[in-house]
Amino acid sequence: MRALATAKLEKPERRLSLILLLAPAVVWLGLLIIAPHIQLFALSLQEKIGPRLYETGLRNYVEFFGESIYWMTLIRTTALSILATALTLLIAFPVAYYIAKMLRGRTKSLLFVLALLPFWVSELIRTLGWIIILRETGLISSALLSLGIITEPIELLGNDAAIIIGLVYTSMLFMVVPLVTVLDSLDDRLVEAGYDLGGNGFTVLREIIIPHAMPGIVAGCIVVFMLTLGNILTPALLGGKNSLWFTDQIFQKFIVRFNWEQGSAFGFLLLLTSSLIVWAGLKLTRQSLATTMR
Amino acid sequence: MIPSIPQSRAFQVGYAIYIVVFFTYLFAPLAVVGVFAFNDSQFPSLPWRGFTLDWFFSDTGRIGLFHDDGLLNSVGTSLKVAIGVTVLSVVVGTLNAFLLERAQFPGKSLLFTMMLWPLVIPGVILGVSILQFSSTVANGLEDVFGLTINALRPGLPLVVLGQFSFIVTIATLVISARLRKFDLVLEEAALDLGATRLEAVRTVTLPFLSPALIGAAIISFLMSFENFNTTLMLVGSEAPVTIRMFTQIRDGTTPVVNALSLILMVVMAMFALGLLFTSGRQERESTA
């Protein structure tokens, strides 16, 4: 059918339409993605030796590994991102399973839509909500105070726990959707067969449900991890002045200190870390980026 | 653990409670933001000092939302940016969809993989890479030709390009998913009936795509309006609403931000339901 449709076009005409269709994609990817990233890498190899005087070298990277605050921040950001991803998965899985397998018909679609709705609201507004809940004059502190559990107001903002709470909350959608999709495709008869063969809730979960859900788990974890690692808003607002998130270091280098060479090196290291972990995740589970994203 | 397998009463109740707690957790922050828009206090926090509409309408002493020019202007800026990003993303996304679904050429699967890259690059990195690239280009043009192009310096045109660079991927995916379901026989019928190629696409294919085009437009608009990471790196003196609200929240704000948030939440909920309606219709049509 495809051949039939294209056969109606004369050859030069077909070439022309192909070029016209290719042009926007090539301009977009070339000028906004590929060239800027090549340039970013080139800039990261520039060492400033005087005003408008540069030479090529690895000093920006050497400085990253020499200054413990830099590499500690990257490790810390990666570790907290992995923790946030794991927590998101743990919280989301039972919910996704409930929506996909325990409910039917209207209640099912209603609950699914309800689970997605908060994420149409911008991250900024959701984070504002957590600030009002967690701050010293906020809901939790006041509630504990009036219950007599604490005697002084407590500040729950400005620590790692607050950052994690915000990141987990903000990532929930990207875990729930792939999990519901994949669990929805699990045939109930497989679960029943598991029980018929003498399995209990735990073994059925381990031997049947989780293996089946693996592609969704991987897809969700990759997206959540990347969004968390690259997040700048939530750590800045919930973690306070010294959130020590790596994206903030990049922002500081570029916008505040105007040290673009070092900032580029940091940006590249973040990109490398993120790609490396995504790649490892894909390899470990034998998935490919193209199938995960569809 | 499916309805057809009997479970203990305690397990069922426990599971249901977990689900209720989860949804409370999901909606609590949003409810809190909305409620505190009406608190008669200088700060969006407890204690509750009574109900007021000051944070929407007051123009004496307290500045309510509808008299806060800075905040209102930033909403206007965001709308401008979002319209630009939406138009660009839907047009290029549609062309990309035709390229991916109709054209045959070597390197097609590589091109598709490259189109997915922007989704796996952190927004901050997209922002800084475009920032330094456009500055380099601008400096080069200035040094060599003496040309000054302000659009290449931090500002709204760069913000539009930065957001477009990854939002167009999503538009492409949405539109090509719909185009894949299109039956080419319909287009051939139009050709047989004397339509030119472009007429056939315009009168047959594009109407078929319209639910996906609307869907892609709504998603692009919302993603642009809410974008923070990429925007933060490319913004100039005119701040879109996310940047403005961020600064205000970080430095301590009055509940006027809550008032704006409440309005945005209502508008976005309407958008979300609209999209749900169009995608629901799309699914029914394709199964029918």
Contact check, Cβ <8 Å, B257/A138: no
Tokens of A59: 């000093």
Contact check, Cβ <8 Å, B125/A8: no
Contact check, Cβ <8 Å, B257/A128: yes
pLDDT of the residue at B90: 95
Tens digits of residue pLDDT in B187-203: 888 888 888 888 888 88
Tens digits of residue pLDDT in B204-255: 888 888 888 988 998 899 889 989 989 999 998 888 999 988 988 888 777 7
Q: A64: Cβ–Cβ under 8 A, 6 or more apart, which residues?
A: A70, A71, A262, A265, A266, A269
pLDDT of the residue at B279: 64
What is Dmax (Cα atoms) for chain B? 79
Rounded-to-5 percentages of helix, strand, coil across chain B = 75, 0, 25
Residue A134 lies in a domain: yes
3-state SS class at A49: strand
In total, how many domains does chain A have? 1
CA–CA separation, B140 and B161 (whole Å): 20
Distance spanning both ends of chain A, measured CA to CA: 24
Residue B9 predicted with pLDDT over 80: yes
CB contact at 8 A, B122 and A229: yes
CB contact at 8 A, A38 and A262: no
pLDDT of the residue at B86: 95
Phi, psi of A49 (to 5 degrees): -115, -5
Residue A243 lies in a domain: yes
We report the CATH number of the domain holding residue A214 as: 1.10.3720.10
A68 CA: distance to closest CA in chain B (Å): 22
- Torsion, CA A180, CA A184, CA A190, CA A192, rounded to 10: 80
Cα radius of gyration rounded to whole Å, chain B: 24
3-state SS class at B51: strand
**Distances in whole angstroms, Cα of residue B111 to Cα of each of A126, B101, B107:** 36, 12, 6
A266 CA: distance to closest CA in chain B (Å): 10
Contact check, Cβ <8 Å, B264/A121: yes
B251 CA: distance to closest CA in chain A (Å): 10
Contact check, Cβ <8 Å, A264/B132: yes
Three-state SS annotation for B82-145: HHHHHHHHHHHHHHHHHHHHHCCCCCHHHHHHHHHHHHHCCHHHHHHHHHHHHHHHHHHHHHHH
Burial pattern A18-35, b for ≥16 Cβ within 10 A else e, equals beebbebbeebbebbbeb
Tens digits of residue pLDDT in A50-81: 777 777 778 888 888 888 888 888 999 999 99
Question: What are the chain B neighbours of A226 within 8 Å (beta carbons)?
Answer: 120, 122
CB contact at 8 A, B111 and A25: yes
Residue B83 predicted with pLDDT over 90: yes
B60 CA: distance to closest CA in chain A (Å): 25
Taking alpha carbons only, the member of B77, B22, B264, B161 closest to residue A124 is B264
Mutate to test the interface with A, among B125, B152, B173, B271 (most CBs of A within 10 A): B125
Residue A7 lies in a domain: no
CA–CA separation, B172 and A239 (whole Å): 36
> Tokens 């969704």 label which residue?
A216
User: Looking at chain B, how many residues does it have?
Assistant: 288
Contact check, Cβ <8 Å, A289/B229: no
Residue B34 predicted with pLDDT over 60: yes
B47 preceded by a cis bond (ω within 30 of 0): yes
Question: To the nearest whole number, what is the mean pLDDT of chain B?
Answer: 84
Residue A108 lies in a domain: yes
pLDDT beneath 70, residues of chain A: 1-11, 287-294
Other Cβ atoms closer than 10 A to B106: 7
Residue A218 lies in a domain: yes
Using 50, 70 and 90 to split pLDDT, how confident is the model at B287?
very low
Q: Which has more pLDDT, B280 or A80? A: A80
CA–CA separation, A210 and B162 (whole Å): 38
Rounded-to-5 percentages of helix, strand, coil across chain A = 80, 5, 20
Tens digits of residue pLDDT in A178-227: 899 888 888 888 888 888 887 777 788 877 888 888 888 888 898 899 88
Burial pattern A68-82, b for ≥16 Cβ within 10 A else e, equals eebeebbeebbebbe
Residue A94 lies in a domain: yes
Question: What are the chain A neighbours of B265 within 8 Å (beta carbons)?
Answer: 121, 125
Q: Which has more pLDDT, B52 or A203? A: A203
Domain containing A202 equals 68-293
Question: What are the chain A neighbours of B120 within 8 Å (beta carbons)?
Answer: 226, 274-275, 278, 289
B82 CA: distance to closest CA in chain A (Å): 14
The gap from C-alpha A255 to its chain's centroid, in whole angstroms, comes to: 23
CA–CA separation, B40 and A145 (whole Å): 21
Find the residue in B nearest to A91 (Cα).
B22
CA–CA separation, B185 and B183 (whole Å): 5
Contact check, Cβ <8 Å, B197/A131: no
Query: What structural domains and CATH numbers belong to chain B?
Result: 12-287 (1.10.3720.10)
Question: Mean pLDDT across the stretch B113-138?
Answer: 89
Question: What are the chain A neighbours of B126 within 8 Å (beta carbons)?
Answer: 33
Q: A59: Cβ–Cβ under 8 A, 6 or more apart, which residues?
A: A47
Residue A60 lies in a domain: no
Question: What are the chain A neighbours of B257 within 8 Å (beta carbons)?
Answer: 128
Using 50, 70 and 90 to split pLDDT, how confident is the model at B155?
confident
The gap from C-alpha B209 to its chain's centroid, in whole angstroms, comes to: 20
pLDDT of the residue at B91: 95
A6 CA: distance to closest CA in chain B (Å): 9
Query: Which residues sit opposite A55 in a β-bridge?
Result: A47
Residue A82 lies in a domain: yes
Question: What are the chain A neighbours of B136 within 8 Å (beta carbons)?
Answer: 39, 43
Question: What are the chain A neighbours of B248 within 8 Å (beta carbons)?
Answer: none
pLDDT of the residue at A213: 83
CB contact at 8 A, A271 and B120: no
pLDDT of the residue at A27: 92
Query: Which residues sit opposite A27 in a β-bridge?
Result: none
Question: What are the chain B neighbours of A101 within 8 Å (beta carbons)?
Answer: 1-2
Question: What are the chain B neighbours of A237 within 8 Å (beta carbons)?
Answer: 246, 249-250
Point out the residue among A133, A192, A195 whose CB comes nearest to the CB of B32: A133
Distance spanning both ends of chain B, measured CA to CA: 33
Mutate to test the interface with A, among B18, B129, B222, B234 (most CBs of A within 10 A): B129
Burial pattern B173-203, b for ≥16 Cβ within 10 A else e, equals bbbbbbbeeeeeeebbebeeeebeeeebbee
CA–CA separation, B186 and B200 (whole Å): 9
pLDDT of the residue at B1: 61
